[in-house]
């Protein structure tokens, strides 16, 4: 499976993530999983030095150091417990790195469960992802079908209820564009025109378009009041429009609080903001050939 797809990362509010099949040998013999290059990349975000103990001694063999992970129960991406998990370079030399199963850490699968999964034609996988605000990585195990079908649980009227793709990376790019600084960000399935976003924020005078009196702070990158760009019609719906919706008329400036509200607030609170923003933008969008009625627009957001 390698990298997790964008839909799954969006729902997990994760920066990146990866997953691999648990092999018969790993489940019944080694009692551990070996990290590939994708999983190591995710891990390195929390442990940049990768200074894990090495069996047989060697440099950096700090066996006293604890390595913590948020461990999820099987087939559960929402709940987790912070646990110490054994992670070791199993050979005296080389870069092979393993996470070891242990009942006390809850990162484990026993042989009977593994064979039962195979009988049911399920494919047990293990995964690792890094959430935006968490110090330690998340790990767990799940059926491949569960990982693939998880986003479908959030479908509503044909639209995925999720944040705009790669929003954290997009906001960083936008702030650096305003400050004319180059920044490396994660690639996105939906390419964005940062210049259009920057122009929308400038035309809003770097104030929140819900309420210009909303307090914010000065961005270190742009030296302007920090506001975020938000596409009113989500870019994930681009394939429903013949014309591009990545235009300044579709981009509003929001303070961080209002932006989070649109993604995570109640329907009642979201509707008040959405109605105000849409009333001010729908005619401008119509002039650019983007025609959407108000009830359809609200369905993009409201459950």
pLDDT, tens digit, 9 for 90 and up, residues 21-76? 999 999 999 999 999 999 999 999 999 999 999 986 555 454 556 799 999 999 99
- Do 6 and 149 reside in the same domain of the chain? yes
Q: What is the pLDDT of residue 1?
A: 54
What is the mean pLDDT of the segment spanning 225-233?
92
Mark which of 153, 178, 203 sits at the end of a domain: 153
**Nearest 10 degrees: CA dihedral of 8, 121, 76, 38?**
-50
Query: How many CB atoms neighbour CB 260 within 10 A?
Result: 13
What is the CATH number for 148? 2.40.330
Q: What total of structural domains would you count in the chain? A: 2
- Do 218 and 112 reside in the same domain of the chain? no
Mark which of 133, 153, 173 sits at the end of a domain: 153
Task: Write the burial class of residue 248 (CB in 10 Å: 0-12 exposed, 13-18 middle, 19+ buried).
Answer: buried
Q: What is the pLDDT of residue 130?
A: 95
- Do 16 and 109 reside in the same domain of the chain? yes
- Do 140 and 280 reside in the same domain of the chain? no
- Do 122 and 184 reside in the same domain of the chain? no
Query: Which is nearest to 35 in space by CA: 47, 18, 51?
Result: 18
What is the mean pLDDT of the segment spanning 225-237?
89
Those residues whose C-beta lies under 8 Å from the C-beta of residue 153, and which sit 6 or more positions away, are none
- Do 69 and 180 reside in the same domain of the chain? no
Q: What is the pLDDT of residue 188?
A: 40
User: Is residue 139 over pLDDT 90?
Assistant: yes
- Do 149 and 33 reside in the same domain of the chain? yes
- Do 149 and 166 reside in the same domain of the chain? no
Query: Which is nearest to 107 in space by CA: 134, 86, 136, 77?
Result: 86
- Do 146 and 233 reside in the same domain of the chain? no
Q: What is the pLDDT of residue 157?
A: 38
- Do 143 and 260 reside in the same domain of the chain? no
Mark which of 101, 125, 153 sits at the end of a domain: 153
* pTM for this predicted structure: 0.52
- Do 49 and 125 reside in the same domain of the chain? yes
Q: What is the pLDDT of residue 109?
A: 93
Average pLDDT of the chain, as a whole number:
84
From CA 265, how far away is CA 147, in angstroms rounded? 26
- Do 148 and 167 reside in the same domain of the chain? no
Band the pLDDT of 165: cuts 50, 70, 90: very low
Q: What is the pLDDT of residue 22?
A: 94
Q: What is the pLDDT of residue 158?
A: 41
Give the chain's end-to-end CA distance (angstroms, integer): 31
236 is in which domain, residue-wise? 159-299
Q: In degrees rounded to 5, what are phi and psi of residue 230? A: -135, 125
């Amino acid at each position: 499976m390698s990298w997790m797809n964008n839909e799954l990362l969006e729902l997990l509010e994760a920066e990146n993530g990866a997953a691999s099949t648990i092999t018969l040998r790993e489940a019944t013999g080694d009692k551990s999983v070996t990290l590939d290059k994708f999983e190591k990349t995710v891990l390195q975000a929390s442990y940049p030095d990768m200074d894990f103990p090495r069996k047989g001694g060697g440099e950096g063999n700090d066996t006293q150091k604890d390595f913590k992970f948020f461990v999820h129960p099987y087939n559960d991406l929402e709940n987790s417990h912070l646990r110490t998990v054994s992670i070791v370079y199993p050979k005296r030399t080389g870069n092979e790195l393993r996470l070891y199963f242990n009942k006390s850490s809850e990162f484990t699968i026993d042989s009977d469960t593994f064979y039962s999964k195979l009988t049911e034609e399920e494919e047990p996988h293990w995964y690792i992802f890094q959430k935006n605000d968490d110090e330690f990585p998340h790990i767990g195990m799940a059926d491949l079908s569960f990982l693939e079908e998880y986003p479908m649980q959030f479908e509503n009227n044909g639209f995925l209820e999720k944040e705009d793709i790669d929003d954290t990376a997009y906001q960083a790019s936008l702030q650096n564009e305003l400050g004319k600084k180059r920044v490396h960000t994660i690639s996105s399935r939906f390419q964005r025109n940062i210049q259009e976003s920057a122009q929308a924020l400038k035309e809003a005078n770097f104030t929140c378009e819900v309420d210009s009196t909303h307090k914010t702070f000065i961005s270190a990158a742009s030296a302007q009041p920090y506001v975020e760009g938000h596409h009113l019609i989500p870019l994930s719906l681009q394939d429903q429009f013949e014309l591009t919706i990545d235009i300044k008329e579709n981009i509003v400036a929001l303070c961080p609080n209002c932006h989070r509200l649109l993604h995570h607030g109640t329907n009642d609170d979201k509707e008040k903001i959405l109605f105000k923003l849409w009333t001010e933008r729908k005619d401008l969008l119509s002039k650019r050939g983007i025609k959407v009625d108000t009830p359809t627009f609200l369905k993009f957001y409201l459950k």
